[in-house]
Structure 1
Amino acid sequence: MNRPFISLCPEITRTDALTLMDWLEDECVTRYLSDSRHVSRFIEQVIGRVQLPILTPLFNQGGRFFMAYDRHDARVGFVRLVKTGPDCEMVLVIGNRNDWGRQLGAAAIRESMKLAFLEMRAERLIARIHPDNARSLRAFERCGFVAESQAPALKSFAMTAMRYRQFLRETPAGHAANIHITEIDKDRLSSLLAFVRDPAVFELEHEIERATVVDPGQVPGDVVTMNSRALLQLDDEAVEVTLVYPEDADCSAGKLSVCSGIGTAILGYREGDALDWRMPDRTRRIRIEKVLYQPEATGNFHL
């Protein structure tokens, strides 16, 4: 059985806006949304006033807006993150009723936490939920949120950055396969993160945070470590790659930076593992067919 998968895309198109309008016309979807009428009016005004294919700047006024896609790149909902000081408030909607019950809400919450804590550097993430919205209450509780307060119309849940990192280490996989990195690779990658300015590097930080850290001499020989060479299946294409640090990257030679999409995705996985990973244009299915070379397996613990 496939695990629930959600990717959050920051680009908002006119087609996205029209889909949002359809969702917000469904009373079952908007039943627990306090500002649904305001949002509907805003979207309608934007569509009528702005004749542009990309509407991202308009949707990001006062916060950050993301469309939620499933593994088939179908739109299933949206997330809005509004950061005020150290706190970030989250609004989540799974817009198509046919997608309810697939645990996509919990998957979207996990992706939102990654953005809020590792990219936006919030200290606390807050969600305010109607007490009768049982499905959402269960999803946030399942993701580790703690109830803080309750009013007649809203129940407040929160997750702190410290608790989030602890949660990653205690339940590192969530709904993803566990991964392993060596102590040396972790130290080098953690130092790298301090200097890389690419906003997408938070994905690498997330993978490091959730990984099981092992002694270089104890890492299984079928794990993709730094400077490993592996045969991958990318959708229907077989590709041989070497996972390297950014300064050694050379796409023409199959040397992928660990900061690239596929590079971050394969770090720490083992032969036979398969995962879905969102690239800028679409979601890719990646399978580790074989680890052809691993430095640690040949005694090169400091390569």
Structure 2
Amino acid sequence: MNCPFVSLCPEITRAHALTLVDWLEDECVTRHLSDSRHVSRFIEQVVGRVQLPILTHLFNQGGRFFMVCDGHDVPVGFVRLVHTGSECEMVLVIGNRDNWGRQLGASAIREAMKIAFFQMRAVKLIAKVHPDNARSLKVFQRCGFLLESETPALKSFAMTSERYVRLLRESPAGQAGTIHITEPDQARLRNLLASEHAPASFELEHELERAIVVDARQVPHDVVTMNSRALLQLDDEEVEVALVYPYDADDSAGRLSVGAGVGTAILGYREGDAFAWRLRDRTCRIRIVNVLYQPEAAGAFHL
């Protein structure tokens, strides 16, 4: 199932808070939220009391809060993840009724699972859904969640980390394009992740899990492998880059670390592929214009 691009933005601004207040005033949005009145009052109090442009620290009390943003960085909803022991509970809201039915919820759930399992290291992710909330029931089931328990007032769905990784491997494309990684690159990058834990390394770990792993001698010659050089289109700008390991990175020289940002994004994509990727402060549109050099194509299998 192809779903629209969304990202989970961890920085919560004052403007975001005002948008949340508007959403939570809509009875159709809050109908199935058990704590909607409390949340709405809390946000209104924060907006009235705290005159700060960034309110992230207030929203992250007791959990992690994210704005769900579309491909144009426009807020369309929110996700809250509360980590308790080995489990994590997820609350998802798509705020504007005009956006319902666009599969934004499915995209947000996939992004939340990535964070819950690869960054927060949860063993199980739980979603508690009101039995009358037909949209939520369907979207969690479509994303692979299994019904764990139910009462007349609540249905509890669960996704384990083991099941999540298995689904990634069985359906590697998911909502994003298919990527290919060579066996040696996969092994080296796994060793890198085991020894170094950069802030964005969970993104790289996710990409390694969803990739199609191929023999280095059989990888298509237009795939961006480690130590490849490629011509990229980043939004409206064309740039030539090399994809390198973190210890060889030099952004000013176009040597991008595979451990973060555009470097993580381009690993495994092919010439002509185009996709969106969330950077720290914005969504970037990336196209692989040309793979200028690939070690495997040149017979340099030691790189």
Instruction: Tell me if both proteins adopt one fold, taking TM over 0.5 as the criterion.
Output: yes
**In structure 2, what is the Cα distance between the partners aligned to 1:122 and 1:236?**
38
**In structure 1, what is the Cα distance between the partners aligned to 2:252 and 2:184?**
27
**In structure 2, what is the Cα distance between the partners aligned to 1:275 and 1:221?**
20
**In structure 2, what is the Cα distance between the partners aligned to 1:131 and 1:285?**
39
**In structure 2, what is the Cα distance between the partners aligned to 1:132 and 1:239?**
51
Could you give the per-residue CA deviations for residues 8-43 of structure 1, whole angstroms, max 9, x where no partner exists? 011111111000000000011111111100000110
Q: TM-score, normalised by structure 1?
A: 0.98
Could you give the per-residue CA deviations for residues 80-120 of structure 1, whole angstroms, max 9, x where no partner exists? 00000000000000001111111000000000000000000
Paired residues for 1:207-226 under 5 Å: 207-226=207-226
**In structure 2, what is the Cα distance between the partners aligned to 1:233 and 1:278?**
15
Give the equivalent residue in structure 2 for 1:158. Answer: 158
Gaps of 5+ in 2: none
Secondary structure of 1:199's counterpart equals coil
**In structure 2, what is the Cα distance between the partners aligned to 1:221 and 1:268?**
11
Compute the displacement of 1:235 (Å).
0.6
Gaps of 5+ in 1: none
Give the equivalent residue in structure 1 for 2:169. Answer: 169
AA aligned opposite 2:155: K
Give the equivalent residue in structure 1 for 2:143. Answer: 143
Divergent runs of 4+, >4 A: none
1:245 aligns with 2:215: no
Secondary structure of 1:173's counterpart equals coil
Compute the displacement of 1:133 (Å).
1.1
Give the equivalent residue in structure 1 for 2:33. Answer: 33
1:114 aligns with 2:114: yes
Q: TM-score, normalised by structure 2?
A: 0.98
**In structure 2, what is the Cα distance between the partners aligned to 1:241 and 1:260?**
14
AA aligned opposite 1:6: V
**In structure 2, what is the Cα distance between the partners aligned to 1:157 and 1:302?**
46
Question: Are the equivalent residues in 1 in contact too, given 2:3–2:107 (CA < 8 A)?
Answer: no
**In structure 2, what is the Cα distance between the partners aligned to 1:9 and 1:176?**
18
**In structure 2, what is the Cα distance between the partners aligned to 1:94 and 1:293?**
43
Indicate the larger mover: 212-221 or 188-197. Answer: 188-197
**In structure 2, what is the Cα distance between the partners aligned to 1:44 and 1:76?**
19
**In structure 2, what is the Cα distance between the partners aligned to 1:32 and 1:12?**
24
Question: Are the equivalent residues in 1 in contact too, given 2:3–2:104 (CA < 8 A)?
Answer: no
Aligned Cα RMSD in Å? 1.1
**In structure 2, what is the Cα distance between the partners aligned to 1:278 and 1:152?**
40
Could you give the per-residue CA deviations for residues 122-175 of structure 1, whole angstroms, max 9, x where no partner exists? 000000001111111111111110001111121100000000100100011111
AA aligned opposite 1:192: L
